[in-house]
Amino acid sequence: MKIQVANQDRTAELGALLRQQAASRRPSMLPPALAPQHSALALRQARNTAEYQSILVNLIRIRRGITTSDFSIPHKPGWKGSLLAGARRFLWKLLRYQHDRMAFQQNVLNELLIGALEFEREQRLAETEALRQRVDALERKQGGAS
């Protein structure tokens, strides 16, 4: 790992500190783990537009939810930073019900939009297949008439 700040190598100063902070994080503070196939890099594996759209819709469905779970509130060092972080934690607990309500509404909307996207995609695929069959039938008919 190499850490650069303002084009200066700060690996020696910051590397150990970052490792220590990462090791001290509680499991609940970590972002939810996703399998490697759920990365946006999976889109590179698509061989054509239809496969790309299929992977994209699947990734959107996996990442659709908004969560309001507890998280670590960053703060500046010292007593002022701790005081402000405490105030932020209190405000978060005080207003969390509003966030939960809005997150629920957004999650419902996300579900509806993803459902509509999947429905539209299926409709387009069915329509494309029907048009291919019609073109094939017309080509056979035209080929038989010659």
pTM metric for this prediction = 0.49
Structure tokens at 69: 């779970």
Least confident interval from 10-24, 62-76, 97-111: 62-76
What span, in angstroms and rounded, lies between the C-alpha atoms of 23 and 89?
23
Instruction: Using alpha carbons, select from 70, 71, 57 the residue that is nearest to residue 110.
Output: 57
Average pLDDT over residues 72-86: 83
pLDDT in tens, 89-125: 888 888 888 888 888 888 888 888 888 888 888 898 8
Instruction: Using alpha carbons, select from 1, 5, 6 the residue that is nearest to residue 18.
Output: 1
Domain-by-domain residue ranges, the chain? 1-30, 64-145
Average pLDDT of the residues of the chain: 80
Residue 30 in this model has a pLDDT that exceeds 50: no
Pairing of strands 4-5, 8-9: antiparallel
User: Using 50, 70 and 90 to split pLDDT, how confident is the model at 136?
Assistant: very high
What span, in angstroms and rounded, lies between the C-alpha atoms of 137 and 130?
11
Residue 38 in this model has a pLDDT that exceeds 50: yes
Residue 130 in this model has a pLDDT that exceeds 90: yes
